[in-house]
Amino acid sequence: MLWNLENIVEFTPAQFDLMSTVLTIGYAAHFAGLAYFILSRKNVAPKYRSMTTMSVVVMLSAALLLLRLDVSLQQAFTYDAASGMYVLSDMTYNHGYRYLNWLIDVPLLLTQSFFVLNIAKKDLFGYRMKLGGAGALMVILGYVGQFYEVMDPLGALLWWGIAATIPFIYFTAIFWRLTGESLSYLPAEAAATMKNIRYLFMFSWNLYIVAYIVPMLGDFGQSAEGAVTRTYLFTIADVLSKIIYG
C-alpha cells in the first residue's frame, strides 16, 4: 500500500514516537470511553439506553481500529541504525483502517441525536436513512480518494475529496436544521448543551476535512512532518467527535 503517504517517507525517532503516542492516546481514550458508557448505561433513562448502546459500539470499533493502526505502524517501520531513521520494512502502513472505522461509526454518530429531538415517528426512519446513508457515502468516496494521496494529490485526491464533501454538506445541513429547531422546545439546560454539541460537531467534523487536505500541501504534505500532522488531526477529530460528542 505505497499509495499511503506514510509509506513514502522516513521518520526520525521523535517523529515516529509522536505518531505512535497519539495513536496510543487515541485508542486508550476510546477504551476508557467504552468503559464509561458500559458502566453508566444502567443509570440512563430507558428511552435513551439505545443511544448509550450506540456509543458503546462507536467506542469499541474506534478503539480496536486505532489499536490496529498503531500495530500497523510498528510492523511497517524498522529502525535503521546506519541512518538513524525509521524506514519502511517489508510490510506497509495501512491508513485505510481509519475509513473502515468511520464507515461503522459515522452513521451511528449522525443518528444518535435523534433520541433527544422531537421528530415525528413517521419521519424518523427517513431521517436515519438520509443521514446514515449520506455519512456512509462520504466515507466511501473519501476512501477511494486516499488511494491517490501520493500518486495524484492535486488531481484525483482533490476531486474525490470534493465529491465526498457533497454528502457532508447535505447531512450537516439537515443536522444543523434539526438541532437548531430543538433549541426552542428543549429545557433550558438541555438547550444549552445542544448548542454546545452543535458547535463541537461543526469544529470536529471540519477538522477531518483539514486532515484530508494535508497531502495536497506541496512538499510539506508529502513529507514526514505532513504525515505526523495528519495523524494528529485525524486522531484529535476522532476523540472530539466520538468521545466528547458521544
Residue 44's identity, in one-letter code, is V
SS3 readout for 121-181: HHHHHHHHHHHHHHHHHHHHHHHHHHHHCCCCCCCHHHHHHHHHHHHHHHHHHHHHHHHHH
Query: Looking at 5-14, 34-43, 121-130, 132-141, which range is the least confident one?
Result: 121-130
Model's pTM, two decimal places?
0.94
Domain spans in the chain, listed from the N-terminal domain onward: 5-244
Give the model confidence (pLDDT) of 18-30 as tens digits: 999 999 999 999 9
Nearest 5°: CA angle at 224, between 208 and 78? 115
- How far apart are alpha carbons 227 and 66 in whole angstroms? 16
Give the model confidence (pLDDT) of 54-102 as tens digits: 999 999 999 999 999 999 999 999 999 999 999 999 999 999 999 999 9
Sorted by sequence, the CB contacts under 8 Å of residue 77 that are 6+ apart come out as 11, 16, 86, 87, 88, 89, 93
DSSP, residue by residue, 31-49:
HHHHHHHHHHGGGS-GGGH
CATH number of 5-244: 1.20.1070.10
Give the model confidence (pLDDT) of 111-168 as tens digits: 888 887 878 778 888 999 999 999 999 999 999 999 999 999 999 999 999 999 999 9
- Distance spanning both ends of the chain, measured CA to CA: 32
Residue 3's identity, in one-letter code, is W
Confidence of residue 246 (pLDDT cuts 50, 70, 90): low
Contact 232, 19 (CB under 8 A): no
Q: Residue 89, by phi and psi: left (phi above 0), alpha (psi -120 to 50) or beta?
A: beta
CA-closest candidate to residue 222, choices 14, 2, 77, 6: 6
